Structure 1
Amino acid sequence: MSAPTTHRSAEEIGRTAQGPRPLPPLGATREVPLPEVVTETLPSGLRVLAVRRPGVPMVETRLRIPFAGPNPTADPAFAARAELLSSTLLTGTAIRDRVAIDDELAAVGADLGVAVDPERLLVHGSGLAAGMPTLLEVLAEVLTTASYPDQELLRERERLVERISVARSQPRTVAREALQRKRFGDHPIALEMPTGEAVAAVTPEEVRATHAAGVVPRGSTLVIVGDVDPDAAIAAVGKALGEWAADGTARSLSAPPLPGAGPLELVHRPGSVQSQLRLTGPGLSRDAEGYAAFQLANLVFGGYFSSRWMENVREDKGYTYGAHSGAEFVPGGAVLGVETDVASDVTAAALLETRYELGRMVAVPPTAEEIDAARRYAIGSLLISLDSQGGLASTLAALDAAGLGVDWLRERPVRLEAVTPEQVAEAALAYFAPERFTGVIVGDADTIGSRLRALGGIA
């Protein structure tokens, strides 16, 4: 009989008779280990990216169709049609109803989903690698013969109106819509959710016409990642989607104006016991020189749990459960967002501490230790995000839309490792100075207004 084992604590394991066990320093990650991406543009104009990622016998697909409206300003009618189209795209085709589509996909362990925003229509899928021909066959059928049955569409229209009504009662939705208007004015990118009235007015004929005009292959991109041969996968796409053709090109969203500095707008939400703080300013796009330094500066300020701002308003002051800052990428650039939710009675104090931490980024630039911790986090989170087939597929689709490829990912650690404290200080000065920001505060103005206005910078 073997001798019983004795449980040792982590502290005991980490010590020897001579003292604590020395930990070797973390080595520099020089490259993200990623497979080759095979790319081909089909005669229809559809761009296909295929990657072999074995390990599990699955495949992930991401079809991205630029899906901007025809008007240069926000169009509630088009936004409503696009939202209803995405909700009903999989409800029927020329030969299958909703149930038959689901059954066909389930038979090969696959599924399809649809999402839409002001920039693109996304049809995402996953399934067993052996079932990829069926997944592509159903995708092609939906793209070419989606019927939008009247009964299905009218039922979904009613549900969508109700969901929008519920969403618009939520403070985070109110804050997001106010922030987008503050950032982009009447540009279409500001209209992320249509009104219930606009959705209720949409007819099945309008949804079918929107599909015919906008769901087109030229300008669209299909990413396939999984346990597949890339060349064979592209050939399968060509065979399955060969009938998907159109004369036009998918409509890309124009670049919006980036937000300028200015006072914060106080949005009155009567009776609210919480306030939503949303600050914003210009950011830096991923392909810009200096983006790596900007990313590290953001992490030090508020981009992860150990950031300065989080330590202040959550750990030290207890004003909030969470505070976050980060870049949002838009056509032609990026915006920096700073957001937290706090109780009404500490709204002014939270804003004061937020401005203080922004100013401290300029006056007391991040130290080498802070930067190194942020660098390790950035590289580690990048590796984790790409570990799954789905994560890699989504990342490649997003980067391709920005004109970037897999080499940008591979070289990311090298660029992060090369950033110096001086470069991070320059990024902090350029993008985190308090006077560069504008934004909104949503809350009960009767409760929070006087203290906020006493701080200044409130419209």
Structure 2
Amino acid sequence: MSRSAEEIGRTERGPRPLPPLGEQRAATGLSSVDKVLDNGLRVIAVHQPTVPMIELRLRVPFAGDDPMHAARAEVLAATILTGTDKRDRIAFDTDLALVGGELSAVVDPELLSIGGNALASGFDTLLDVLADALTGATYPDDEVEGERGRLIERITVARSQPSVIARQALQKHRYGDHPFTREMPEASDVAVVEAADVRALHTACVLPRGSVLVLVGDVEPARAIAAVAAALGGWKSDKSASVLPPLPEITPKDLLLVDRPGSVQSQFRLSAQAISRTDPRYPALQLANLAFGGFFSSRLVENIREDKGYTYSARSSLEFTPDGATLLVDTDTASAVTAGALLEIRYELGRMAMVPPTESEVDTVRQYAIGSLLTSTSSQGGLASQIAALAILGLGVDWLTQHPDRLKAVTVEQVAEAALEFFAPTRFTGVIVGDAAKLTALRALGGVTLQ
């Protein structure tokens, strides 16, 4: 006689108790080598033979003050893997496909990032293709022209999206004209980029000194380092890769209301200064942020999504910058409930500072933080990406493997101190993007200035 799941889950005395969670164990004892080569490139190689693959992540500091830098950088990232004297675009793709591999490039105001993977047996081919692009990219005129047109289309569409408008408004509100705010170039700037401009940018800025290459997979670290030194030995320059100038600290001030006539929704983007990962208070702040709005059962979500129904999604997060971090609170609401949502966000910020997370809340977010970290680093790709993000800040594998223990050591009192220090409503600024004519109720709340 078969029993239902409900019958199996019950006894005569009631529901069967859930078993306790098992111990979450970090990936300790990883075999790794962290070395700076003669050309100034830092290479971190980690042995993780879970599958016979190699994951590669290259991060090149790629800042620029020229107003046209963002446009040229976007075209460069789109075409760096499209042609050298040895390979055209088809040859790049074919050589990588033959070893089960791929490579792609993206750029932001801080970094040029090249990432991909290949079968472990194709490691040398992966490095040869990468070296060819780094030292011999020719940026063929036809490839630049084609990618330039595709970029213009994508940028034009993206700049009409509410989330992009809100992000750009927040960046300008926080940092003014700092190069960090140039996350997306103007389509008109991209339209005038020539292949010669991109070649000159590559020569001036795609440099090994100050860059970081991370390799994770089924290869012995010493062998990986030696292979990189041989493959990338011709990538040389006496100059260092270009880093962003320091960001100004975020100044608490009124929210900026950015008018978007006809919009039926409002985009909230609130922000406050935070601290870097190396600050001793960081683990406590990480847990405080999770309790406030960092996961689905957080206070902010419970209030404005589950209780009030003001939004489908709300969250807070730590956004890492080149020299620190910021707290970011973001959500989208209907115009009619924008004022109510702002009131509740401010209420939850104040409650976070005055009624800190309980022991139960802290235990829940601690388990979530440790579990999320272990899950994100359980694969070769996830581990490579995490290490690359840390390495560009000067950190290494040890910081990552030791972080679960730092989270376990955080006390309820330390989380309360972080909540009081970082979540006070008066520390925040930001933007609300919406139809100002529909948002007159914001005046009653104060602290909001129309652009």
Q: TM-score range by the shorter chain?
A: over 0.9
User: Which amino acid in structure 1 is aligned with residue 80 of structure 2?
Assistant: L
Query: Out of 2, 5, 14, which is 1:6 matched to?
Result: 2
* 8 Å CA contact 1:276, 1:443 repeated in 2: yes
Q: What is the TM-score when the length of structure 1 is the normalising length?
A: 0.95
Please give the alpha-carbon distance, in whole angstroms, between the structure 2 residues aligned to 1:124 and 1:347: 40
- Please give the secondary structure, in 2, of the residue aligned with 1:76: coil
Query: Out of 284, 287, 293, which is 2:278 matched to?
Result: 287
Question: Superposition RMSD on alpha carbons, in Å?
Answer: 1.4
- The alpha-carbon deviation at position 24 of structure 1 amounts to 4.8
Which runs of structure 2 are paired with 1:147-226 in the superposition (5 Å)?
147-226=138-217
Residue 358 in structure 1 maps to residue 349 in structure 2: yes
- Please give the secondary structure, in 2, of the residue aligned with 1:55: coil
Residue 65 in structure 1 maps to residue 60 in structure 2: yes
Taking a change above 3 Å as real, the CA distance of residues 30 and 156 of structure 1, as seen in their structure-2 partners, is: closer
Runs of 4+ in 1 over 6 A off after TM superposition: none
Query: Out of 116, 123, 127, which is 1:125 matched to?
Result: 116
User: Which amino acid in structure 2 is aligned with residue 245 of structure 1?
Assistant: K
1:274-322 residue CA offsets vs partner (Å, 9 max, x unmatched): 1100100011211101111101110010000000000111111111111
- Please list every run of 5 or more consecutive structure 2 residues that lacks an aligned counterpart in the other structure: none
* 8 Å CA contact 2:26, 2:374 repeated in 1: no
Q: What is the TM-score when the length of structure 2 is the normalising length?
A: 0.97
* 8 Å CA contact 2:56, 2:213 repeated in 1: yes
Q: Please say which of residues 194-203 and 381-390 is displaced more in the overlay.
A: 194-203
Query: Out of 32, 36, 41, which is 2:36 matched to?
Result: 41
Taking a change above 3 Å as real, the CA distance of residues 12 and 258 of structure 1, as seen in their structure-2 partners, is: farther
- The alpha-carbon deviation at position 208 of structure 1 amounts to 0.2
1:34-55 residue CA offsets vs partner (Å, 9 max, x unmatched): 5122122221111111111112
Residue 145 in structure 1 maps to residue 141 in structure 2: no
* 8 Å CA contact 2:387, 2:400 repeated in 1: no
Aligned to 2:384: 393
Please give the alpha-carbon distance, in whole angstroms, between the structure 1 residues aligned to 2:51 and 2:107: 29
Aligned to 1:327: 318
User: Which amino acid in structure 2 is aligned with residue 440 of structure 1?
Assistant: V
- Please give the secondary structure, in 2, of the residue aligned with 1:267: strand
- Please give the secondary structure, in 2, of the residue aligned with 1:301: helix
Please give the alpha-carbon distance, in whole angstroms, between the structure 1 residues aligned to 2:29 and 2:117: 20
* 8 Å CA contact 1:308, 1:357 repeated in 2: yes
Please give the alpha-carbon distance, in whole angstroms, between the structure 2 residues aligned to 1:380 and 1:51: 21
Length, aligned pairs only: 449
User: Which amino acid in structure 2 is aligned with residue 6 of structure 1?
Assistant: S
* 8 Å CA contact 2:171, 2:181 repeated in 1: yes
- Please give the secondary structure, in 1, of the residue aligned with 2:328: strand
Query: Out of 17, 24, 49, which is 1:54 matched to?
Result: 49
User: Which amino acid in structure 1 is aligned with residue 342 of structure 2?
Assistant: L
Query: Out of 433, 440, 446, which is 1:456 matched to?
Result: 446
- The alpha-carbon deviation at position 167 of structure 1 amounts to 0.5
Q: Please say which of residues 422-431 and 28-37 is displaced more in the overlay.
A: 28-37
User: Which amino acid in structure 2 is aligned with residue 451 of structure 1?
Assistant: A
Please give the alpha-carbon distance, in whole angstroms, between the structure 2 residues aligned to 1:148 and 1:23: 60
Taking a change above 3 Å as real, the CA distance of residues 266 and 289 of structure 1, as seen in their structure-2 partners, is: same
- The alpha-carbon deviation at position 20 of structure 1 amounts to 4.1
1:63-100 residue CA offsets vs partner (Å, 9 max, x unmatched): 1111111x3xxx43011111110011111111211111
- The alpha-carbon deviation at position 32 of structure 1 amounts to 3.8
Paired-residue identity, %: 60
Aligned to 1:347: 338
Residue 443 in structure 1 maps to residue 448 in structure 2: no
Which runs of structure 2 are paired with 1:61-140 in the superposition (5 Å)?
61-69=56-64, 71=65, 75-140=66-131
Please give the alpha-carbon distance, in whole angstroms, between the structure 2 residues aligned to 1:23 and 1:275: 42
Please give the alpha-carbon distance, in whole angstroms, between the structure 1 residues aligned to 2:167 and 2:431: 9
Q: Please say which of residues 195-204 and 270-279 is displaced more in the overlay.
A: 195-204
